[in-house]
Amino acid sequence: MIKDLDVILSEGESYTVEFKENADKTLASEVCAFANASGGRVFIGVNNNGNIVGTDTSNASRSRIQDTINQIEPRLTVDIAVLKKIMVITVPEGTNKPYSCAKGFYLRSGPNSQKLERDSIIAFLQTEGRVIFDSIVNEKYPITDNFNEVEFLEYLKKSGISDVLPRESVLKNLGCAEITGNGNLSYTNAGILFFRNNQQNVHFDFAQVVCALYNGTDKVDIIDAKEFGGGIIENIDNAIVFLKRNLKVGYEIKSLQRKNVLELPEDALREAITNSVCHRDYFEKGARVMVEIFDDRVEITNPGSVPKGITKDNFGNISVTRNPVIASLLHRAHYIERMGTGIKRMIKAMETAGFEKPVFKNEGAFFKVIFGRGLFKYEIRDVVKNVVKDNANGVKDGVKDVVKDNANGVKDGVKENRLKVAELIKKNGKITIPQMAQQLNISSRQVQRLLKTLIDKGIVLRIGGRKQGYWKVKQNGKN
């Protein structure tokens, strides 16, 4: 029996509670709505004000109620109990959603049950994982239509798949094609996204990856922008090229070996872009994966919030994929891991490189990863040379950065700006790089270079992380 009945009645109808004076024609829709949501209870013999008015609790009445509920498809098991003068129907959350009755599909929303129209039904099915975009067979496009042989052979090479089997067999085994009712072998949506030429021109333009470089920290002044609409792997690779072209690159020199070093770890960036392409909501055709570079950060955004089953507690520890065929194809090509390690791999790559962890945001219908652009420890500019002094025994003194100022007063101007930066920090240790840049009327990157010099000289210290930390000027420092 239900405890605290008086409390339930006094609180009124809610997401999990419905009052009905009698078992009328709407009973099936109410039960259906609870089954499609999180379950709930229907109290028959209670009016809208929560007052008990009583109902027929005979076995015949219970039988009629059960017959009404049995009309729901697929079959649903409920519990019917008699309590005082009322009947209580306890409806579990359905394990075989969606459920429908003679009047259609219903879903509980707040204290009401709402009938789902066509678009809402489709969205519900997507949310429950009953319709999976990448597995849908697209009968309009047989694999003989614009097949990208180059991308296919390149994929086989990356995946280590032998080409001894016929192309058709390989595509079916990969989940990229299926035999349709007319006997043709047609692409699945995953097959179109990977191996069909010009898919952006045949209702798949939403699958593009859009990259943009901005001047400053806002989406106002666009310096460079590209839209990539090839196959999924080609789009990922092109987005990485865009980042490498527009982020700073320096040299890490160990012994006589010189290695190019990207401002942010390429492994972390590649993981974020691949995850965005893999896990985006492809049913959302009004948005694209965005890769955006600002002066102070890189943002990678995809349509679709985290999949159902991912919570704040298990985020980054379990794998739930919205597009299993796409995930499988990327896994075979060694672009992703299957064990839900993507988030941890991004974090580890950033921490290993000495940066703060990326920020992960679930913003409504979008998911975003933010990488902060901090001080770059491998600066390289046209005024900097790496000088290696060799002696007879090999490298003796290692590597020094020699800065040669020219006759235009570069040295004095840089020194003056360093002094100004130090003075700003003395006044406000919490001042940000963009704020310093604005007050000095120079770029954020110039401020970063000045700070690096001050830090290297031991004049300025950074205490704490990028968000909660602060700057400090040493009292005995010299510039």
Tell me: pLDDT of 385 over 70: no
183-193: average pLDDT: 91
Residue 238, pLDDT score = 96
6-19: average pLDDT: 91
> What's the token pair of residue 111?
């204290």
Residue 386, pLDDT score = 38
Cβ atoms of 436 and 449 within 8 Å: the answer is no
Antiparallel, parallel or unpaired: β 394-403 and 249-254: unpaired
pLDDT tens for 17-31 read: 999 999 999 999 999
CATH class of 207-372: alpha beta
Antiparallel, parallel or unpaired: β 40-44 and 17-20: parallel
Q: How far apart are CA 370 and CA 358, in angstroms?
A: 5
331-351: average pLDDT: 85
- Is the pLDDT higher at 20 or at 253? 20
Residue 129 — pLDDT band, cuts 50, 70, 90? low
Cis peptide before 92 (omega within 30 of 0): no
Query: What are the residues facing 196 on neighbouring strands?
Result: 147
Tell me: pLDDT of 123 over 80: no
Residue 66, pLDDT score = 95
Q: How far apart are CA 201 and CA 316, in angstroms?
A: 35
Closest listed residue to residue 376, CA positions, set 299, 455, 435: 455
Share of the chain above pLDDT 70, in %: 82
Cβ atoms of 34 and 108 within 8 Å: the answer is yes
Q: Which amino acid is at 169?
A: S
132-150: average pLDDT: 86
Cβ atoms of 43 and 19 within 8 Å: the answer is yes
Can you tell me whether residue 198 is helix, strand or coil? Answer: coil
Give the CA-trace dihedral at 347, 349, 354, 359, to 10 degrees: -30
Instruction: Give backbone dihedrals phi and psi of 264, rounded to 5 degrees, phi first.
Output: -115, 150
CATH class of 405-473: mainly alpha
- Is the pLDDT higher at 479 or at 356? 356
Residue 217 — pLDDT band, cuts 50, 70, 90? very high
Residue 337, pLDDT score = 78
Tell me: pLDDT of 382 over 90: no
CATH architecture of the domain covering 5-127: 2-Layer Sandwich (3.30)
Residue 313, pLDDT score = 66
Residue 168, pLDDT score = 93
Write down the domain spans for the chain.
5-127, 133-197, 207-372, 405-473
Rounded to the nearest integer, the mean pLDDT of the chain is 83
Cis peptide before 98 (omega within 30 of 0): yes
